Amino acid sequence: MWRRYGDAVTLSEPGTAPAAPATRGQRPSGRSGRLRSRGDRSVEILVALLIALVILRSPIAAAVDHPMVQTWTTIFVAIMVQALPFLVGGVAVAAAIAVYVPPSFWRKALPRHPVLAVPVASCSGAVMPGCECGSVPIAGSLVRRGVSQAAALAFLLAAPAINPIVLVSTAVAFPNNPEMVLGRGLASMAVALVIGWLWIRLGRTDLLRLPHRPELDDTSRHRAFWQALRHDVVLAGGFLVVGAAVAATINVLVPQQWVQAVAEHPWLAVLVLAALAVLLSICSEADAFVAASLTQFSLTARLVFLVVGPVVDLKLIAMQAGVFGRRFAATFAPITLVTAVGMALLFGWLLL
Amino acid sequence: MNRLAQGVVMLLFGGAVLRASLTDMYLRYVKESLQPFLIGASALLIAAGVMTLWYELRRGDGSAAEPHDHGGGHREPRVAWLLLAPVLGLLLVAPPALGSYSAGTAGTALSGEQRRVDFPPLPQVSLVELPVLDYATRAIWDDGRSLAGQRVRLTGFLTTDGSEQYLARLVLSCCAADARPIKVGMTGQAPTGLADDTWVAVIGTYVDTTGVDPINEATIPYIDVESWQTVPAPSRPYE
């Protein structure tokens, strides 16, 4: 057990095993010169960068004066600002779960058998409002707390899609089609259940890599909370930047006439909306309204958009790769995409 | 990016968002209703930044090492550098609200709006200030019945679609990323000689002329303009 790992002196040669258990209380002051290795220049680089940008402020402002660039930047900033409360809130809850909730709670709350834990976890996803930014860190902390991977993944899939805020927004967006709300809720739940049970069946627990979280072993729980918060916010936030940038790029460059031409072919419409859902990475509270505006498309195609969006999109893939590892994301995303499209088509056929 | 730098970036990001949410700047990007959550989230982010700096500086000027093992162990994330992008976006670029560029590249989204069935009568005064969306829905979905004989005032920005200049307003569902335009055509004493993105207030009455948006073939209602004047851009640019 690495106790007080955070205080340990770590040798920074690559390829060596993680450091030996802490040299408690021993702080080799004479080695401080060697400890300022390459990673430590971050603050200097940051400061230099900021100073340079402040000095170059006017030329930069002139360069971004083009309306397309400004529109891009507005959309990019808007997505980041809109997502921020959900991101920070979700990460705070995740950090709190990770630090303050004793592991025994999870073992008691969820059925021991993973097959039973999956549906319970899926339903508990319904009480977690906020978009997908929050569910990835929370799922990570659940796994860390001993919840079976399958149940945590079921939660990860269900939480953004079937929470009350999303369902209400869907109801408001489709007032003449309440079956869209039902379809979305049922299809998303089905996706969570199928993937959860499938994960058990696959038995590949090695696919999910959890980075070692030294700050969580800290004896000071409050410090551990802040450390976890910091780490998750910058990690998830960094990936969110990628997703927001891509979404802004697509938003500015895709002409609407193309969309219309595609909508007239039913299968192409479904595929294109599924792809659009993956690419646009819109917050699950908002995608209902965007779907409602795609009036050229059939309700079934739009249901696909609504079911796919919260469970697999560029933003999520990037976050999952960051939190769970690239191998995981490469396996998880395609399986989820196919399942989501399938469930949406199934419930679309049944209800719409 | 080491922990100290992460703390600084969180402080900057939180500070930038806090500043935007305490002034009217945030309204360029998101809705009013998000303000308390923005303030809360940015305050939490600032607190996290402060706590990070506190813990890092208390360790003694970075003399305690940070984990640097690359063998599948824990390393401070490099994607954290990307967080500088929104920080710079907010502090350096501070992009304006969406305007005629977005409105001109998207079709009018009236058909995507929740269809109204109730059109309460307008107050019986000589001039009624109406949101552009309200006017457009009454004109198209109620065939202008509730607008008959009523002088209305619409405020919006000018945007050119094809060859014609329209009065437009962007409607948000969530944030500026999903903004869609509502366009209203103008007959009568329509403004001339004004550039796109100019904010105007037009006073006029309903006319049953309709147009077709060349981008998505949707219907565009018209207003018969009696008079107009330029106005400063409102603090709440979206409807």
Q: What is the pTM of this model?
A: 0.76
| pLDDT value for A289 | 66
For residue B213, which of B147, B129, B136, B154 has the smallest C-alpha distance?
Answer: B136
Name the range with the highest mean pLDDT among A17-21, A245-249, A334-338: A334-338
Specify the pLDDT at position A139: 80
Q: With an 8 Å Cβ cutoff, are B63 and A27 in contact?
A: yes
Q: Does A235 contact B105 at a Cβ distance shorter than 8 Å? A: no
pLDDT tens figures, A78-111: 888 887 887 787 778 767 776 777 766 766 777 7
Mean pLDDT confidence for A198-216: 70
For residue A18, the model assigns a pLDDT of 38
* Of A22-26, A37-41, A120-124, A259-263, minimum mean pLDDT range: A22-26
Query: Which candidate from B30, B51, B84 shows the least CB-CB separation from A78?
Result: B30
Q: Is A75 on the interface with B (CB under 8 A)?
A: yes
Q: Say whether B101 and A238 touch across the interface (CB within 8 A).
A: no
Better-scored residue on pLDDT, A295 or A299: A299
Q: Kindly state whether A249 is in contact with chain B, defined as any CB-CB distance less than 8 angstroms.
A: no
Binary contact (B77, A235; C-beta < 8 A): yes
Residue in chain B nearest A169 by alpha carbon: B173
CA distance, residue A343 to nearest chain B CA (Å): 25
Q: Do A238 and B81 touch (CB under 8 A)?
A: yes
Tokens 């193309």 map to which residue? A258
Q: Kindly identify which residue of chain B lies nearest to residue A222, measuring between CA atoms.
A: B51
Kindly state whether A33 is in contact with chain B, defined as any CB-CB distance less than 8 angstroms. Answer: no
What value does the mean pLDDT of chain A take? 76
Give the gap in angstroms from C-alpha B18 to the nearest C-alpha of chain A.
10
Query: Does the distance separating the beta carbons of B2 and A77 come in below 8 Å?
Result: no
pLDDT 10s digits, A135-154: 777 787 778 877 888 888 88
Pairing mode, if any, of strands B219-230 and B180-188? parallel
Tokens of B154: 């619409």
C-beta separation of B168 from B96 below 8 A: no
Contact B101 A74 (CB under 8 A): no
Tokens of B50: 């402060």
What six digits make up the tokens of A246? 């891509």
Which residue among A14, A46, A89 sits closest to B5, beta carbon to beta carbon?
A46
Q: Which two tokens stand for residue A1?
A: 């057990």
Q: Mutate which of B34, B59, B173 to test chain A, going by most A C-beta atoms within 10 A? A: B173
Residue A214 has pLDDT above 70, yes or no: no
B44 against B60, higher pLDDT: B44
Q: Search chain A and give the residue with CA nearest B114.
A: A173
Whether residue A3 is predicted with pLDDT greater than 60 in this model: the reply is no
When pLDDT is averaged across residues A291-305 and rounded to a whole number, the result is 80
**Residue scoring higher pLDDT (A329 or A100):** A329
Between CA A210 and CA A200 the distance in angstroms is: 18
Question: What percentage of chain A carries pLDDT values higher than 90?
Answer: 15
pLDDT confidence of residue A286 = 65
**pLDDT category of residue A63 using cuts at 50, 70 and 90:** confident
Q: Which residues contact A83 (CB under 8 A, 6 or more apart)?
A: A131, A133, A240, A244, A283
A33 contact partners, CB below 8 Å, separation of at least 6:
none
Structure confidence by residue, pLDDT tens digits, B145-166: 888 888 999 999 999 987 889 9
- Residue A226 above 80 pLDDT? yes
Confidence at residue A243, expressed as pLDDT on a 0 to 100 scale: 67
**For residue B68, what pLDDT band results from cuts at 50, 70 and 90?**
very low
Q: In Å, how far is A39's CA from the nearest CA of chain B?
A: 6
CB-CB under 8 Å, A37 with B68: yes
